[in-house]
Structure formats: C-alpha cells, structure tokens
Amino acid sequence: MNEVEELLKNIDGQFKDVVGVLIVDRDGIIIKSTINEVVETIQNYGMSIAQIVEMSNQALKENGEIQFLRMKTKRNEFIVVPDKEFMLITILNANNPSLSHGQHALSSN
Amino acid sequence: MNEVEELLKNIDGQFKDVVGVLIVDRDGIIIKSTINEVVETIQNYGMSIAQIVEMSNQALKENGEIQFLRMKTKRNEFIVVPDKEFMLITILNANNPSLSHGQHALSSN
C-alpha cells in the first residue's frame, strides 16, 4: 500500500487548491486519505459521491459505466475516477483565492 | 431566441466531437436543441442529467448548488452547466476516433 500512499501524496502536493485525496469503496467508505483528520464532512463527501456515481450509472446505464466525473459546487470541486471496487476522489477548493494552501476550510496535509 | 440558437450552433460547430447541444428545463424537458431529430435517447439524456444534477444538489447540499458537471461514460461525455431554470448540456462522443463528424451514432447537424 506504500505506492498508493505515495501516489495520493503526489496528487495532493501537485496543486495548491487540493484539499485532499481519498480512496473510497463503492459505498463511499474511506479506505485511504491524505487528510489526517477524517472529519464527518469528509466521510460525507465519500458517501455522497459514491451515491452520485451509483445513481449516474443507473440513470445512464445504456451508456456504459461512468469513467470520469468532475463536479463543481460553490465551495468545492470534486474529481472522481471510479474503478470496479474503489473510487479515487480528489477534493479541491473552488474559487477561494483568499485561502492559501494549508489554511482552507478543511484541514489537509 | 435567435441569439440562443446562434450560441448553441457555435458550441456545436466548435468541436468535431460534439454530438449536440441541448437546453433543458430543470425536469430535463428539451427546450432547444441543435439535434434535428430529437430521438428518445436524446430526450432520455435530458431527463437523466436533470435527475443527476437534482440528486447531486441534494447529496452535496451544504456545498452550494452544482455549477458545473462533466461526466464521461464509455460512449459519451456530457458537459453540464445548470442555471436557475434551465440547464445547458453539451453531448460529446467519447473516444471514438473511427466515427467522423456527422457519422456518429446520434444524428447531429
């Protein structure tokens, strides 16, 4: 699992707006995270996004599975790459130039 | 509505992989479309995507409304910009280099 952790840290360090990177299972349960303190909000993100992917797969089922999802809300941006068993979720800060790296609303590494 | 039609045609013409551009209401009913023949599949896309946006708004409700959504399936890619009453949906062909413009699975202008 060391390689996975390195990969996550790489994604996390590459962009200053990255709040954190999660690997969740298909139910949204967090397996790995670059966010030290997995607060309820982060766990909820995992569950909500797993739900959205599941629901999108059903809604667009004749189109094949969702391979990539990018979703921007007022507060965050989520980049999601679902795989068979797991899902990679990158959480970014959306449009918040006043918050510098490490000081954003959600604590990150 | 002439300006809207021009805008849609512009988006449609700009990228060779664009299958079509739709404006749908929040229930997914097609208001405007660059696709001449609105087949059932296209109407279903409108409905499915409206559903996905609605559901994502609920799932991430403390995050503010979805402002932008990009979703890739095996067959298509959808770029969605929701607004208060309407939603702009651009449908693209995903990874199908063997199909040239105008010959893709869904008829387009």
In a domain, B23, yes or no: yes
In a domain, A37, yes or no: yes
pLDDT over 50 (residue B3): yes
Q: What is the mean pLDDT of chain B?
A: 83
In a domain, B102, yes or no: no
Distance (Å, whole) CA B62 – CA B60? 6
Q: What is the pLDDT of residues B6-15, one digit of tens each?
A: 878 777 777 7
In a domain, B22, yes or no: yes
In a domain, A101, yes or no: no
Whether B87 and B54 have beta carbons less than 8 Å apart is answered as: no
User: Considering its fold, how many domains does chain B have in total?
Assistant: 1
- Count interface pairs A-B at CB distance under 8 A: 76
Instruction: Describe the crossing of helices B40-59 and A40-59 by its angle, rounded to 10 degrees.
Output: 170
pLDDT tens by residue, chain A, 109 residues:
578 788 787 777 777 788 899 999 999 999 999 987 768 888 999 999 999 999 999 999 888 899 999 999 999 999 999 999 999 999 999 865 444 444 444 444 3
Distance (Å, whole) CA B43 – CA B100? 23
In a domain, A103, yes or no: no
CB contact under 8 Å between A64 and B74, yes or no, is yes
Question: Which amino acid is present at B23?
Answer: I
On whether any CB of chain A is under 8 Å from the CB of B61, the answer is no
Tokens of B6: 């021009």
CB contact under 8 Å between B64 and A56, yes or no, is no
CB contact under 8 Å between B66 and A51, yes or no, is no
Question: Chain B residues with CB inside 8 Å of A74's CB?
Answer: 63-65, 67
Question: Chain B residues with CB inside 8 Å of A61's CB?
Answer: none
CB contact under 8 Å between A70 and B69, yes or no, is yes
Domain that holds residue A41: 2-6+22-93
**What number of residues does chain A have?**
109
Question: Chain A residues with CB inside 8 Å of B76's CB?
Answer: 63
In a domain, B1, yes or no: no
In a domain, B55, yes or no: yes
Whether B82 and B53 have beta carbons less than 8 Å apart is answered as: yes
Distance (Å, whole) CA B91 – CA B78? 5
Q: Phi-psi category of A77—alpha, beta or left, where left has phi over 0 and alpha has psi -120 to 50?
A: beta
The CATH number of residue B87's host domain is 3.30.450.30
pLDDT over 60 (residue B71): yes
